[in-house]
Structure 1
Amino acid sequence: MHANLTTPSDTVDGTLDDAAIARLFTEARTHAAFDPRPLPVELLRRLYALASLGPTSMNCQPARFVFVASEAGRERLLPHVAAGNQPKVRSAPVTVIVARDTRFYEHMPTLWHVPDAGANFERQPAHAQATAQRNATLTGAYLLMAARALGLACGPMSGFDAEGVNRSFFPDGRWEADFLINLGYPAGPAQRPRAPRLGFQQACVLA
């Protein structure tokens, strides 16, 4: 049974229950092999709806997603994927190209309450580029966590030729590929044990 992630558990501090935390973090793993069941469009729409709720700078929402689910789309993608990652893409019913819209600021009049926010980004291309890169990657992470919340297995990947993907999928140059996420239902447990993580003392500073 899926954990209820719509409301916090009945704890004093409002934290999610252990089952929800396990699904999202402690028991979640990167998967390389997937069940062949297709993912319905309704599920992908729900997945995006959840991911889009995550915060971005000035609500700029520069992330764009290509859900590669057809055999034709997969064959377009595979030549640009590192050889070691190609079996993972072939196994996954959907591979998501997480991309950024380089002209995301054209939507700012709808997304943000400051009238000239979009024009300010347009006048500062370096700032616009950095904002798009940072926030698109962030939203890709939201998508991954939303997928886990919906019971899907994920396999994020950076082993691919981004320029090749851009040429094949985004020839007009407006969108740019960031990273890939394989999605599906798991075909058994993850293949490798969890790799070590740095401890608090190694990775964190209290200032």
Structure 2
Amino acid sequence: MSDSLSIDPTAQDILFRTARTANTFTDEPVSEEQVRAIYDLVKWAPTAMNIQPLRVVLVRSPEARERLVAHMAEGNKAKTAAAPLVAVLAADSDFHEHLPTVFPHRPGARDDLHGAPEVRARMAAFNGAIQVGYFIVGVRAAGLAAGPMAGFDAEGVAKEFFPEGGHQVLAVVNIGRPGPDAWFPRNPRLEYDQVVTTV
């Protein structure tokens, strides 16, 4: 099967087959340069009308880490406190403020979105989720492990890190080199015929 893909089998393994969700990390720091390189890849994720709603807060300071850990589910507190870097990934429903004034293929689109906050919120959440997936693959491409989590008080995290409002927190991701006993036992994946139907 791997012969049918464009990237070599080693890259396939790094990005997908052998990549795992890490639950412990070494204390090796994650540099600003590494994060910039990750973003330089993941910014190319497809989003509707190129809206790019993903916003990332890198939690580095001890004070900010304490504020975040207070909102994590009990089972996620220790690993979030210990990870070299934690990223809070959110969708900005005011993404339209960064769009061009005129879209050649959709004149008036920016103005239409300005008056439709519920539409923007749905668009931001859906397209932000696409970008979250790309972000995780980008972390793996950097040779690091990602520990994405949904176990947290999303409203509390949003108030802490996006006090101006207008942001929906989608995921909290621990990032670093995997530490001892980083992996839970791997669960099986559904097979092609269980997922794909041709009509």
TM-score (norm 1): 0.88
| Secondary structure of 1:80's aligned partner | coil
| Cα distance in structure 1, aligned partners of 2:90 and 2:52 | 11
2:162 is aligned with what amino acid? F
The residue number in structure 2 matching 1:192 is 184
| Secondary structure of 1:66's aligned partner | strand
The residue number in structure 1 matching 2:95 is 104
The residue number in structure 2 matching 1:119 is 111
| Cα distance in structure 2, aligned partners of 1:50 and 1:161 | 29
Whether 2:84 is the aligned partner of 1:93: answer yes
Whether 2:154 is the aligned partner of 1:140: answer no
- When structure 1 is superposed on structure 2, of 108-117 and 36-45 the one drifting more is 108-117
Query: What is the aligned-residue identity percentage?
Result: 39
The residue number in structure 1 matching 2:9 is 18
Whether 2:171 is the aligned partner of 1:179: answer yes
Contact residue 89 and residue 172 of structure 2 kept, 8 A: yes
Shift of 1:43: 1.2
| Secondary structure of 2:88's aligned partner | strand
| Secondary structure of 1:167's aligned partner | helix
* Change in CA separation of 1:12 and 1:86 when aligned onto 2, cut-off 3 Å: closer
| Cα distance in structure 2, aligned partners of 1:126 and 1:84 | 33
Shift of 1:14: 6.3
Whether 2:32 is the aligned partner of 1:32: answer no
* Change in CA separation of 1:12 and 1:79 when aligned onto 2, cut-off 3 Å: closer
* Change in CA separation of 1:117 and 1:95 when aligned onto 2, cut-off 3 Å: same
Extract structure 1 runs of 4+ deviating beyond 6 A: 11-14
Whether 2:76 is the aligned partner of 1:82: answer no
Whether 2:36 is the aligned partner of 1:45: answer yes
The residue number in structure 2 matching 1:8 is none
Query: CA offsets, 1:93-137, max 9 Å, x none?
Result: 111111011110111117954452221212332221111000111
Contact residue 59 and residue 112 of structure 1 kept, 8 A: no
TM-score (norm 2): 0.92
- When structure 1 is superposed on structure 2, of 197-206 and 107-116 the one drifting more is 107-116
2:125 is aligned with what amino acid? Q
| Secondary structure of 2:79's aligned partner | helix
- When structure 1 is superposed on structure 2, of 131-140 and 107-116 the one drifting more is 107-116
2:115 is aligned with what amino acid? R
Superposed CA RMSD in Å reads: 1.9
Contact residue 56 and residue 87 of structure 2 kept, 8 A: yes
1:45 is aligned with what amino acid? R
2:197 is aligned with what amino acid? V
| Cα distance in structure 2, aligned partners of 1:96 and 1:193 | 25
| Cα distance in structure 2, aligned partners of 1:23 and 1:150 | 9
The residue number in structure 2 matching 1:64 is 55
Structure 2 unmatched ranges of 5 or more: none
The residue number in structure 1 matching 2:145 is 153
2:111 is aligned with what amino acid? A
Aligned residue pairs total 197
1:202 is aligned with what amino acid? Q
* Change in CA separation of 1:115 and 1:38 when aligned onto 2, cut-off 3 Å: farther
